[in-house]
């Protein structure tokens, strides 16, 4: 399974990367994507997640080719 992972704003700064490319079998959910890309860091409690640019819950399923994003609460406007 191939997944592109993107990070934004303070979360991007705290992990020191803006994106990852995962090529692992056994990734089923958004939470799995985070755990696989960041095995030594818990996702901050207030984080939001998106798959293919739509908001999702952490237990949402992912499939090959998805773009998964993690970011803090939005502060635009």
Partner 1 sequence: MHIKICAEVFDPWQEIQLHQHSAQNLAGKFGATSVFIGTMRDFNGGDDVKGMTLEHYPGMTEKQLGKIVAEALQQWPIINALVVHRVGDILPNEPIVLVAVWTSHRGDAFDASRYIMEALKSRAPFWKKERLQSQAERWLVKNTDGYL
The site for partner 1 (CB under 8 A) is made up of 6, 8-10, 46, 50, 53-55, 69, 71-77
Residue 52 Ramachandran class (φ > 0 left, ψ -120 to 50 alpha, else beta): left
CB of 25 or CB of 74, closer to partner 1 = 74
User: Cβ closer to partner 1: 42 or 74?
Assistant: 74
Least distance between partner 1 and beta carbon 25 (Å): 27
The secondary element (H helix, E strand) that includes residue 51 is strand 48-51
Smallest distance from partner 1 to CB 69, Å: 6
C-alpha 77: how far from chain center? 24
């Amino acid at each position: 399974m191939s997944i592109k992972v993107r990070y934004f704003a303070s979360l991007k700064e705290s992990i020191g990367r803006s994106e990852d490319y995962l090529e692992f079998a056994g990734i089923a959910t958004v939470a799995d994507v985070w755990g696989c890309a960041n095995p030594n860091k818990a996702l901050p409690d207030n984080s939001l997640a998106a798959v293919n640019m739509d908001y999702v819950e952490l237990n949402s399923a992912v499939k090959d080719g998805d773009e998964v994003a993690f970011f803090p609460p939005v502060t635009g406007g």
